[in-house]
Amino acid sequence: MTEEVDTGRRHFLTVATVAAGAVGAAFVAVPFLASWKPSARAKAMGAPVELDIGKLEPGAMVKVEWRGKAIFVVHRTPDMLAKLPAMGSSLRDPDSNESEQPEFAKNEARALKPEYLVLVGVCTHLGCAPLEKFTPGDVTVAADWQGGFFCPCHGSKFDLSGRVFKDVPAPTNLPVPPYQFVSDTRILIGADKGNA
């Protein structure tokens, strides 16, 4: 009788131990997967994007995707850059004090190299995609238009540095993403060392 009880208890203890082990493994495995999945996904989503801009003509723009967002890269001409100083009084935040951007972009050109503008192409009002409207006098925007970006959703306007105009719904300038030059003709978007 004693032996039967002992055997039964041993069996119960063995089963209980195995069950506890299985439960323990489950508890260990879930946090591991939970922490592993987002980090792997985040890594893929947040990986920097390298772009060759060697063939980007002056005055032209190319779009790439980074972290699911459109990134605009514009090769600005000397004429385009010459328009920037005169825009100040028309802009809500000409010095980009309230705008999302790396420290290196805190200048009129909002860029590491003035001729290359890199922006997040998402309107800061409600997230529409602004259109490139680089032709001065484009009446689809305004008769005195100097060139820049126009959001067709609710009429927000941005200059050739992505700075928002006064009296439009968008509250802040188009963001500048982190980026760096890895050579004279290649930029790495999503990696910010603040150097050229």
Residue (of 177, 146, 164, 156) closest to 73 by Cα position:
177
- Told to judge if 154 belongs to the known catalytic residues of this protein, a careful annotator would answer yes
Binding mask 6-35 for ligand FES (x = CB under 6 A): ------------------------------
Q: Binding to ligand FES by residue 151, rule CB under 6 A?
A: yes
Complex with ligand FES: residue 66 or 165, whichever CB lies closer: 165
Min CB(151)–ligand FES separation in Å? 3
Helix/strand/coil percentages in the chain, nearest 5: 30, 20, 45
Q: What are phi and psi of 30, to 5 degrees?
A: -65, -50
Complex with ligand FES: residue 88 or 127, whichever CB lies closer: 127
Q: Binding to ligand FES by residue 64, rule CB under 6 A?
A: no
Q: Binding to ligand FES by residue 169, rule CB under 6 A?
A: yes
Burial of residue 169 (CB within 10 Å: 0-12, 13-18, 19+) is middle
Min CB(72)–ligand FES separation in Å? 14
Site for ligand FES in 120-149 (CB under 6 A): 123, 125-128
Active-site residue identified among 11, 75, 125, 154:
154
Among 156, 161, 172, 180, binds ligand FES (CB under 6 A): 156
Contacts of 144 (CB under 8 A, 6+ apart): 137
- Sign for the CA dihedral angle at 86, 155, 127, 80 comes to negative
Q: Give the HSE-up count for residue 114: Cα atoms under 13 Å, Cβ half-sphere.
A: 12
Active site residues: 154
Instruction: State the residues that interact with ligand FES by CB under 6 A.
Output: 123, 125-128, 151, 153-156, 169-170
